[in-house]
Amino acid sequence: MADDTVKRAGVIGLGAMGFGMASSLARAGFEVSGYDPAPAAQERASDAGIAPLASPEDVFATAEIIVLSLPAAAHVEAAIAAAQGAGLLAVGAAPKVIIDTSTSEAEVSRKLAAELADAGHGFLDAPVSGGPSGAAAGQLSVMLGGDEAWAGRAMPALEAMAAKILHVGPSGAGNVAKLVNNMLAASHMITTLEALRLAEAAGVGAEDALRVINSATGRSAISEIHYPNWVLPRSFDSGFSTGLMRKDVRLARELAERSGCAMPVADLVAELWAEENSGLKDADDFMHMGDPAVDRLSKKEKM
């Protein structure tokens, strides 16, 4: 490992993504601790050799590099506030590098990065793509926002978790890039579903249509990876929930509103993903949305 000062890593949020990232850090030689309020997540971490600690503060007290993998910006703020309350992010405290891999909000990241920089600590927004399998294999794509020097300090940990590290720009830039990407993925689920349902209605099976799409101009990661792996085999277990996808669509639209950017397609996509139209609960895997055997689109026409 390049830098002796960053060999103790802590992961807060040991869910579908955080657990895989913690395992990748451990494989790369980091001493890894973690915290999750769910007992099952703590137990799974312990079984994998990741030291489960009793609170986020304990993780900050134990590690120099802290990875957050939390549901939303409010959880990120709460974890930082807990560490601040314990004096672990004060001026003069041992410097911490915080890598926030949650799909969070640019304004929150900018505020936290500025506050923490004043106290001598680094905060990087580092949302990820690649799903639980990419997290477990250390093969994520990271969209990084923040200061170059702190990014350098975080690099050994980032390299343990990711195959691609894309430094997008200053604080918040990673969050913006991630929301723009996921808005497209949410849209591609709907447009691919529409296309396959049309193919089937007109006499061409979904598998045959998908084979053509994936050799032609209509393809996307959704058609090339998600449909063959999780939709057509009907396993619907990609590890990303419909609730998290709805969060991403909502955040992208809020960003568009603040940025004065019209997004008519995104507005319709958000309506189609809503529970009253799609029939999907937040806990359902988001792959269910693409099921060509279920009509999740025509309710919208009656609205």
Catalytic residues: 178
Dihedral sign for Cα atoms in the order 173, 133, 241, 37: negative
* CA 32 – CA 50 distance, rounded (Å): 5
140 or 190: CB nearest ligand NAD: 140
Which is nearer to ligand NAD, 110 or 178 (by Cβ)?
A: 178
103 close to 75: Cβ distance less than 8 angstroms: no
Pair of tokens at residue 296: 């999740």
The CB-of-147 to ligand NAD minimum distance in angstroms stands at: 22
> What radius of gyration do the chain's Cα atoms show?
20
Question: Which C-beta is closer to ligand NAD: that of 3 or that of 285?
Answer: 285
Per CB under 6 A, residues contacting ligand NAD are 12-18, 35-38, 41, 56, 69-71, 75, 78-79, 102-103, 128-129, 131-132, 239-240, 244
Shortest distance in whole angstroms from residue 299 CB to ligand NAD: 26
Q: How far is CA 276 from CA 45, 91, 208, in A?
A: 36, 49, 31
**Residue nearest ligand NAD, CB atom distance:** 15
Q: Are 118 and 2 in contact (CB under 8 A)?
A: no
DSSP β-bridge partners for residue 143: 166
Going from the C-alpha of 50 to that of each of 14, 38, 110, 164, the distances in angstroms are: 10, 15, 30, 24
Q: Distance (Å, rounded) from C-alpha 167 to C-alpha 132?
A: 22
Name, in order, each residue with C-beta under 8 angstroms of 72's C-beta and a sequence gap of 6 or more: 102, 103, 104, 247
Return the closest-CA partner of residue 27 out of 42, 49, 58: 49
Residue with smaller CB distance to ligand NAD, 71 or 95? 71
CA 233 to CA 249: how far, in whole Å? 26
Helix (H) or strand (E) holding 52: strand 51-52
Of 26 and 79, the one with the shorter C-beta distance to ligand NAD is 79
Q: State the minimum distance, in angstroms, from the CB of residue 101 to ligand NAD.
A: 6
Shortest CB 170 distance to ligand NAD, Å: 21
Shortest CB 2 distance to ligand NAD, Å: 26
> 208 — phi, psi (to 5°)?
-65, -45
Least Å distance between CB 33 and ligand NAD? 13
Q: Nearer Cβ to ligand NAD, position 208 or 224?
A: 224
Longest dimension (CA), the chain: 69
